[in-house]
Amino acid sequence: MQAIRATTVFDGETFLDGGATVLVEDGVVVGVESRGHDLPAGCSVTVHDGTLLPGLIDAHSHLVADSGLNALDRVAGYSPAELDGVITQALGDQLAAGVTTVRDLGDRDFCVVDRRDRQHPGLVEPTIVASGPPITTAGGHCHFLGGAVASEEVIARAVAERVERGVDVVKVMASGGVNTPGTDVLRTQFSDDGLRRLVEQAHAAGLPVTAHAHGTPSVQQALDVGVDGVEHGSCVTERGFGQASDDLLDAWARSGIVLCPTLGTDPDLMKEPPAPIKAVMDRMGVTAEQMMRMRYEFVGRQHRAGIQLVTGVDSGIQPPKRHGALPFAVGDLVSAGLTVAQALATATSRAAAAVGLGERKGRVAPGYDADLVLVAGDVAASIMALHDVRSVLLQGRPVTPPGADHRLGAGPAPAR
């Protein structure tokens, strides 16, 4: 048994008064006691004058993308060995930022699903939840990842393939995307019947569905057909972000469909936005600062409406949204009006529930995996303390991520 005494402890839902002593045995939290709790004989103790919290969960990541400029565009040209190297680096960068679980929502050729299947106890990398290639239309958003269906009649075949491969979630591109030329973020990609058919088949197989949806029509469509989650959910039209009625948001909240707004951009690297993001800004006639303010205002409105939020970065797709940028996403939610505890819950307990691991991840509580993060300072007083990770524990074992490069903007390039 080992113990960690911390001045500040966030348990996944709330901050514990006076800190706590967390007891860990065989990789599991076995007790959460007062900070001055008498320890059993032979129990080692670590005293931490900072904050202890559950390992963070990035609910929207692309491990095949290397955090460089136009990262997704290069994925189709990587060899299997190069892809594996990019995934290894991405997992290391995530772990260095305190992320102990990653939900991957778009790989190539099921390579991240295969990586998940090779994970074993003792491996020094975050737990993976994986979707395989996202299902999209011919020439649609991220078609180059291999998940395009030539017609809506073959949707059933695509879902069946994911069931056979044992994915954890089905990802579908309900709208176009910023990073795929020729697609339109403001328009739907599937008919209502086609998307409903996909959701019904996945649900019949016991799999949840999460939908990439930017434009208001695609968000409305995703809600109407009963997906389990919406990625981005920005409700963008030619008039800007947040073009959604109160009735739409109220219905969304009542449905229980989870939203991952994919905030989390390094502000220093947004001073010169990547070309695809700059194109969207120009189309709307807004600056980067104005665009982020619009996003914050709308996400705050979604939160106040009662929509369930979880945190994911869309990590890996560009330098401002690199692997390991999750602390920025939590801070962005505070900027959107959530309390620090509410924002942290979206990256811990709520995210764990959304990715299907709510019974063993995302909490500092007896019976949960001892995936823990120690950061310097008091996160309750300043969310910026979340950026200063001092130690990461995977199932109770302190780990040093192999090859992790946590410098700002460092986008690893695969060896060629």
Q: Which helix (H) or strand (E) holds 298?
A: helix 288-305
Axis crossing angle, helix 192-204 with helix 155-165, rounded to the nearest 10: 30
pTM, two decimal places: 0.93
Give CA separation, 306 vs 213, 250, 300, in Å: 19, 8, 10
Among the listed residues 310, 110, 126, 119, the one whose alpha carbon sits nearest the alpha carbon of residue 210: 310
Query: Per CATH, is 56-354 categorized as 3.20.20.140?
Result: yes
Helices (H) and strands (E) in the chain, counts: 12, 16
Q: How far apart are CA 38 and CA 106, in angstroms?
A: 48
- CA 168, CA 331: separation in Å to the nearest integer? 28
**Domain boundaries, given as residue ranges, for the chain:** 2-54+362-399, 56-354
Q: Name the residue among 39, 27, 33 with its Cα closest to residue 11.
A: 33
CA 51 vs CA 73, 293, 321, 338, 378: distances in Å: 39, 29, 25, 19, 6
| Architecture in CATH for domain 2-54+362-399 | Roll (2.30)
Percent of the chain predicted with pLDDT > 90: 82
Per DSSP bridges, beta strands 28-33 and 20-25 are antiparallel
The tens-digit pLDDT sequence of the chain (416 residues) is 999 999 999 999 999 999 999 999 999 999 999 999 999 899 999 999 999 999 999 999 999 999 998 899 899 999 999 999 999 999 999 999 999 999 999 999 999 999 999 998 888 999 999 999 999 999 999 999 999 998 888 999 999 999 999 999 999 999 999 888 888 889 999 999 999 999 999 999 999 999 999 999 999 999 999 999 999 999 999 888 899 999 999 999 999 999 999 999 887 776 676 676 677 677 777 777 777 888 999 999 999 999 999 999 999 999 999 999 999 999 999 999 999 999 999 999 999 999 999 999 999 999 999 999 999 999 999 999 999 999 999 999 999 754 444 332 333 333 32
What is the reported pLDDT for 152?
Answer: 83
Rounded CA-CA distance 331/388 in Å is 13
Taking the C-alpha atoms of residue 163 and residue 346, their distance in angstroms, rounded to an integer, is: 28
pLDDT in tens, 298-346: 999 999 999 999 999 999 999 999 999 999 999 999 999 999 999 999 9
* Nearest one of 199, 234, 200, 196 to 217, comparing CA atoms: 234
Sign of the Cα pseudo-torsion (74, 75, 78, 82, in order): positive
What's the CA gap between 263 and 295, in Å, rounded?
8
**Class of residue 152 by CB neighbours under 10 A (exposed 0-12, middle 13-18, buried 19+):** middle
Contact status, residue 29 vs residue 22, Cβ threshold 8 Å? yes
Question: How would you class 358 by CB atoms within 10 Å of its CB: exposed for 0-12, middle for 13-18, buried for 19 or more?
Answer: middle
For the beta sheet containing 209-215, the strands, ordered from the edge strand earlier in sequence to the opposite edge, are: 170-173, 209-215, 229-236, 258-260
How far is residue 227 from each of residues 36, 106, 177, measured CA to CA in Å?
A: 47, 17, 19
Q: Would you say the CATH fold of 56-354 matches that of 2-54+362-399? A: no
